[in-house]
């Protein structure tokens, strides 16, 4: 699932180039799927995170999971001057520090939130979720109600602030805008992470009720996949929300939580892996693509910018050859990053042969 979410982000960014059309499907919600999956998996892996030693191991494992590859792609963005839009060295140093500390998404301007390797804004969100996870996981079976409502309230607070302060829909890179705040703010996405945690509780409670034989399990899985695909086309048409609360709140809804119900249901069903979709995702090639999906997500934008800026000749190639070249290069770089950067450094930092993903 992570691979297909990452692939959606890749095709979002290359839309209109290399023969790939721009589509109305909100492919940006692939990041939302990352957040929901993250909440689900962490809740499944960690029953509780208590005590100084457990907290230390948890935070070390989370650091090892995200930061080495973030550092590698940050350095690549610097070396290849992917983002050179800062007005002074002082500002560049400040933004660099925020980016390296994964705090950039708390500054809702494009010049900061999307600085250097722009997709790393989502890691800044994840860092916030990791920080809260031990508190969120504590007694979750009894406290999920108010934690879920509180996370939703945080998102609604972001939407409310856009309306009250009449933020422009878009603007200059250094300007706070509705679009940047809705997309990059950790508070906008906290609900998705907590939903993922609740999905794990639901699955643990009802998994014995889900169909186990191939045909009914497959029908349920395929039905939810098709429903999610249909909803993806129509989520941007949720006009009732906009009529009640305005276009700013509508943008927040469509960019953050429009597909959450479909994704939550799909994850609960696919977690058992009984149907044809679940078995396909569990096949060895798909498992490997899932393992390198983080590297795909983190490297594809830097590669795209470099190719578009420095290899103009690629645009004159047949579209299919240019597309295959870009995707092939991205897969190659991602595989190398996974094998020689992400995996060994993660295992080295955690001191384990097989680090928890």
- pLDDT in the model for residue 232: 66
- Tell me the pLDDT band of 315, cut-offs 50, 70 and 90: confident
- Among the ranges given (212-216, 265-269, 340-344, 351-355), the one the predictor scored with the smallest mean pLDDT: 351-355
User: Span 240-265, mean pLDDT?
Assistant: 70
Percent of the chain with pLDDT over 70: 88
**Statement: residue 257 has pLDDT above 60:** yes
In a domain, 266, yes or no: yes
pTM to 2 decimal places: 0.91
- pLDDT in the model for residue 53: 92
How many separate domains does the chain show?
A: 1
User: Span 276-302, mean pLDDT?
Assistant: 94
User: Span 314-324, mean pLDDT?
Assistant: 85
Percent of the chain with pLDDT over 90: 57
- pLDDT in the model for residue 355: 43
Burial per residue of 21-30, b for 16 or more beta-carbon CB atoms within 10 angstroms, e otherwise: eeeebbbebb
- pLDDT in the model for residue 163: 81
In a domain, 356, yes or no: no
**Statement: residue 357 has pLDDT above 50:** no
- pLDDT in the model for residue 50: 85
In a domain, 19, yes or no: yes
pLDDT digits (tens, 9 = 90+) for 35-44: 999 999 999 9
- pLDDT in the model for residue 159: 84
The chain-wide mean pLDDT, for the chain, equals 87
- pLDDT in the model for residue 356: 44
pLDDT digits (tens, 9 = 90+) for 104-126: 999 999 889 999 999 999 999 99
In a domain, 238, yes or no: yes
pLDDT digits (tens, 9 = 90+) for 152-204: 999 888 888 888 888 888 888 888 988 888 889 999 899 999 999 999 999 99
- pLDDT in the model for residue 285: 94
- pLDDT in the model for residue 193: 96
In a domain, 306, yes or no: yes
User: Span 220-242, mean pLDDT?
Assistant: 72
In a domain, 176, yes or no: yes
- pLDDT in the model for residue 40: 96
- pLDDT in the model for residue 90: 53
- pLDDT in the model for residue 27: 77
Q: How far is CA 148 from the centre of its chain?
A: 19
Question: Domain of 69?
Answer: 2-350
In a domain, 355, yes or no: no
Per residue, the 3-state secondary structure of the chain, as one string, reads CHHHHHHHHHHHHCCCCCCCCCCCCCHHHHHHHHHHHHHHHHHHHCCCCCHHHHHHHHHHHHHHHHHHHHHHHHHHHHHCCCCCCCCCHHHHHHHHHHHHCCCHHHCCEHHHHCCCCHHHHHHHHHHHHHHHHHHHHCCHHHHHHHHHHHHHHHHHHHHHHHHHCCCCCCCCCCCECHHHHHHHCHHHHHHHHHHHHHHHHHHHHHHHHCCCCHHHHHHHHHHHHHHHHHHHHHHHHCHHHHHHHCHHHHHHHHHHHCCHHHHHHHHHHHCCCCCHHHHHHCCHHHHHHHHCHHHHHHHHHHHHHHHHHHCHHHHHCCHHHHHHHHHHHHHHHHHHHHHHHHHHHHHHHHCCCCCCC
In a domain, 299, yes or no: yes
pLDDT digits (tens, 9 = 90+) for 55-87: 999 999 999 999 999 999 999 999 888 775 455
**Statement: residue 236 has pLDDT above 60:** no
């Amino acid at each position: 699932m992570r691979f297909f979410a990452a692939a959606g982000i890749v095709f979002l960014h290359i839309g209109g180039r290399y023969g790939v059309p721009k589509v109305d499907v909100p492919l940006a919600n692939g990041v939302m799927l990352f957040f929901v999956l993250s909440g689900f998996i962490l809740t499944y892996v960690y029953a509780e995170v208590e005590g100084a030693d457990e907290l230390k191991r948890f935070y070390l494992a989370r650091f090892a999971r995200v930061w080495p590859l973030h550092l590698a792609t940050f350095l690549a963005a610097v070396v290849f001057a992917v983002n050179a839009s800062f007005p002074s060295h002082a500002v560049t140093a400040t933004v660099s520090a925020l980016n390296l500390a994964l705090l950039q998404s708390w500054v809702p301007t494009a010049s900061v939130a999307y600085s250097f390797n722009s997709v790393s804004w989502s890691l800044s969100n994840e860092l916030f979720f990791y920080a809260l996870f031990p508190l969120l996981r504590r007694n979750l079976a009894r406290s999920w109600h108010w934690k879920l409502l509180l996370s939703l309230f945080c998102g609604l607070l972001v939407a409310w602030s856009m309306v009250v302060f009449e933020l422009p829909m878009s603007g200059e890179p250094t300007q706070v805008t509705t679009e940047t705040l809705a997309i990059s703010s950790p508070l906008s996405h906290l609900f998705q992470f907590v939903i993922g945690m609740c999905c794990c509780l639901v699955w643990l409670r009802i998994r014995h009720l889900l169909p186990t034989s191939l045909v009914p399990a497959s029908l349920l899985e395929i039905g939810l996949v098709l429903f999610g695909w249909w909803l993806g086309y129509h989520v941007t048409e949720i006009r009732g929300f906009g009529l009640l609360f305005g276009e700013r709140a509508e943008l927040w809804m469509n960019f953050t939580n429009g597909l959450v119900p479909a994704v939550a249901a799909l994850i609960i069903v696919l977690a058992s892996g009984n149907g044809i979709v679940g078995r396909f995702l569990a096949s060895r090639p798909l498992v490997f693509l899932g393992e390198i999906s983080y590297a795909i997500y983190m490297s594809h934008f830097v590669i795209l910018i470099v190719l578009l800026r420095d290899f103009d000749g690629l645009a004159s190639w047949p579209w299919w050859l240019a597309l295959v070249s870009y995707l092939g290069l991205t897969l190659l770089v991602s595989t190398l990053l996974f094998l020689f950067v992400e995996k060994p450094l993660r295992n080295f930092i955690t001191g384990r042969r097989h680090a928890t993903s």
